[in-house]
């Protein structure tokens, strides 16, 4: 039987199937404060990913027995819309949704000053409208902005990005195709100013050298995302200031 | 003594504000001798104290604050009030009655019922219990007329202005009463709903542009032009009507 020729995801010139270089992020668009009813909100588009994040709190915990006497309870729900993937996804929380909710919550626990508001809860809701790989990282990036938008005290913004191995090469910010056909995936969440990793997972096989290389690449990606996050938070206020200045010039 | 930002510069959570020799003020924290911001806001320093004026936050109850709240529950000996804080506030029946509460005689829902809006003062607030309210002062109690609007609590000082300059401007220009709750709820009561809407518009303009300077003048101007336009429109309408009938 003749060997079937497989089209490579990364070609010989180190260009990926979507035209990116090995260490290039997908284009990212961030918006803050786009939902009127939530206390804080943010929206992210990272490549084909489209994710909304909303935050409530701190507020009284319901049911009451869940309240913690010494700190605020962080709760997180990661949910994929039925239309977010090619084949309809059941809207009921799957095993994967529940796991991601947990790891995302744990990625925020070092960032939020939960001890400031004992016996309250801070609820994070993440809705994936369209998924194309790396949604947990994009969700963390968006939810961190939503927390900041809600005015919740934070040690630092959390930015997240994945690195991985595809066709024998270490690449940054894998999309769905690369994730499925690649050899390894390493999502990482990071607080840039405090230099602290808050989430690190790995799926697949990497040698220890490759692992180190992938971590460094992911950290670099996180730093880039961090700058975008800061810009997004400031954008809302800078805009008002600029229109003001223009108005003043006219006068 | 490095300070990494100028006065009134915009910072985001995690930004390094200063090295040692400084004291961590509001909305900042100190770790390993370095001071970082915890909120998005404008950085400022006075002497050795460095702090951030947050652009958005929620209300943290403080003793002595006047707040506006909604009755969410009538309980055995008082009411539970939502003051838009992380904790639900409590108003005791004995505080309203000015004597001890007698369950056989006193009918609490006839005084304040669920859904009523009240204006009250915080008398106690600690982390073991929610804030305790009182209405035993002139000007406090149930609100019966006017409109309520909400702004983020950090903008309240801007709404009031230096020595109340901003709030008196609105009151004078629009001609209505404005009661400001420290928790971000503002009661506007005027002669007509139209006046109230105009005042609310001005209040939201202040919230949006709180971090810019020369705001008082702009607000006064906005109210004037709005009023002018409305009277113009009304005059035109009246003219058209008279022409039609004539």
What architecture is domain B147-229? Answer: 2-Layer Sandwich (3.30)
Supply the pLDDT for residue A184.
95
> Among residues A107, A126, A131, A130, which one has the least CA distance to residue A179?
A131
Predicted ipTM? 0.87
Residue A31 CA to residue A29 CA, distance in Å, equals 7
CA distance B125 to chain A (A): 13
What is the mean pLDDT of the segment spanning B109-133?
Answer: 90
Q: Is the pLDDT of residue B235 over 80?
A: no
CA–CA min distance A89, chain B (Å):
36
* pLDDT values of chain A reduced to their tens digit, one per residue, 251 residues: 666 656 688 888 889 999 999 999 999 999 999 999 999 999 999 999 999 999 998 999 989 999 999 999 999 999 999 999 999 999 999 999 999 999 999 999 999 999 999 999 999 999 999 999 999 999 999 999 999 999 999 999 999 999 999 999 999 999 999 999 999 999 999 999 999 999 999 999 999 999 999 999 999 999 999 999 999 999 877 776 666 665 554 44
Residue A224 lies in a domain: yes
Which of A237, A239, A244 has the most B C-beta neighbours within 10 Å, making it the best mutation to test the interface with B?
A237
- A13 is a domain residue: no
In a domain, A63, yes or no: yes
| Residue in chain B lying closest to A248 (CA) | B214
CB contact under 8 A, B38 and A60: no
8 Å CB contact of B15 and A193? yes
Tell me the residue range of the domain where A109 lies: 28-246
**Is A193 in Cβ contact with B16 (below 8 Å)?**
yes
Specify if A120 maps to a domain. Answer: yes
Residue A23 lies in a domain: no
Give the CATH number for residue A173.
3.30.230.70
Q: Out of A60, A154, A244, whose CB is closest to B14?
A: A154
Using 50, 70 and 90 to split pLDDT, how confident is the model at B9? confident
Chain B residues inside the 8 Å CB shell of A244: 209, 212
pLDDT-derived band at B232, boundaries 50, 70, 90: confident
Domain count for chain A, please give it.
1
Q: Under CATH, what is the fold of the domain B10-54?
A: OB fold (Dihydrolipoamide Acetyltransferase, E2P) (2.40.50)
Amino acid A138: pLDDT: 97
Give the minimum alpha-carbon distance from A113 to chain B in angstroms, rounded to a whole number: 9
Cα–Cα distance measured from residue A219 to residue A196, given in angstroms and rounded to the nearest whole number: 10
Contact B36 A155 (CB under 8 A): yes
- Please answer yes or no on whether B39 and A119 come within 8 Å at the CB atom: no
Residue A18 lies in a domain: no
Q: What is the CATH number of domain B66-142?
A: 2.40.50.140
Is A129 domain-assigned?
Answer: yes
Instruction: Give the nearest partner residue to B12 out of A39, A157, A247, using CB atoms.
Output: A157
Residue of chain A whose alpha carbon sits nearest to that of B57: A151
- CB distance B56–A155 less than 8 Å? no
Q: How close B70 gets to chain A, by Cα (Å)?
A: 15
Nearest chain B Cα distance for residue A142, angstroms: 14
Q: Is the dihedral of CA B151, B124, B86, B119 positive or negative?
A: negative
Q: Which residues contact A139 (CB under 8 A, 6 or more apart)?
A: A44, A51, A53, A78, A100, A104, A126, A128, A160
Candidates B10, B16, B57; nearest CB to A234 = B10
Q: Give A150 to chain B, closest Cα distance, Å.
A: 6
Is the Cβ pair A117, B40 closer than 8 Å? no
User: Residues of A with CB below 8 A from B56's CB?
Assistant: 40, 149-151
């Amino acid at each position: 039987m003749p060997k079937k020729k497989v089209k490579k995801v990364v070609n010989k010139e180190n260009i990926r199937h979507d035209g990116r270089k090995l260490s290039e992020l997908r284009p990212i668009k961030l918006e803050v404060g786009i939902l009127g009813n939530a206390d804080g909100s943010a929206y992210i588009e990272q490549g084909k990913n489209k994710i909304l994040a909303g935050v409530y709190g701190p507020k009284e915990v319901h049911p009451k027995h869940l309240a913690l006497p010494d700190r605020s309870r962080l709760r997180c729900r990661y949910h994929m819309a039925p239309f977010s993937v090619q084949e309809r996804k059941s809207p009921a929380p799957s095993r994967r949704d529940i796991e991601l909710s947990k790891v995302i919550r744990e990625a925020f626990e070092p960032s939020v000053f939960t001890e400031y508001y004992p016996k309250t809860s801070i609820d994070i809701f993440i809705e994936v409208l369209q998924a194309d790989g790396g949604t947990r990282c994009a969700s963390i990036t968006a939810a961190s902005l939503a927390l900041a938008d809600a005015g919740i005290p934070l040690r630092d913004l959390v930015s997240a990005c994945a690195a991985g191995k595809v066709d024998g090469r270490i690449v940054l910010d894998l999309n769905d195709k690369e994730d499925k056909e690649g050899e390894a995936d390493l999502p990482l969440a990071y607080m840039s100013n405090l230099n602290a990793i808050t989430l690190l997972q790995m799926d697949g096989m990497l040698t220890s050298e490759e692992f180190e290389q992938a971590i460094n690449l992911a950290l670099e990606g996180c730093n880039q995302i961090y700058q975008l996050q800061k810009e997004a938070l400031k954008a809302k206020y800078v805009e008002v200031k600029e229109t003001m200045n223009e108005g003043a010039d006219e006068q | 003594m490095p300070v990494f930002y100028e006065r009134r510069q915009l910072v985001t959570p995690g930004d390094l504000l200063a090295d040692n020799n400084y004291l961590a003020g509001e909305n900042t924290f100190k770790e390993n001798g370095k001071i970082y911001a915890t909120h998005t806001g404008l950085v400022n320093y006075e002497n050795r104290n460095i702090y951030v004026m947050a652009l958005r936050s929620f209300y943290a109850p403080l003793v002595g604050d006047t707040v506006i709240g909604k009755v969410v529950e009538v309980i055995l000996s008082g009411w539970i009030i939502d003051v838009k804080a992380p904790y639900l506030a409590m108003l005791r029946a004995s505080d309203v009655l000015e004597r001890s509460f007698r369950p056989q005689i006193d009918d609490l829902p006839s005084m304040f019922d669920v859904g009523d809006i009240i204006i009250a003062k915080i008398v106690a607030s600690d982390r073991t219990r929610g804030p305790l309210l009182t209405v035993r002062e002139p000007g406090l109690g149930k609100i019966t007329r006017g409109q309520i609007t909400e702004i983020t609590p950090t903008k309240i000082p801007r709404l009031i202005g230096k020595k109340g300059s901003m709030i008196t401007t609105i009151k004078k220009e629009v001609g209505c009463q404005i009661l400001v709750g420290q928790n971000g709820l503002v009661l506007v009561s005027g002669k007509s709903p139209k006046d109230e809407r105009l005042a609310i518009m001005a209040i939201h303009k202040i919230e949006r542009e709180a971090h810019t300077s020369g705001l008082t003048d702009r607000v006064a101007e906005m109210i004037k032009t709005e009023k002018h336009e409305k009277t113009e429109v009304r005059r035109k309408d009246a003219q058209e009507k008279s022409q039609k009938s004539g």
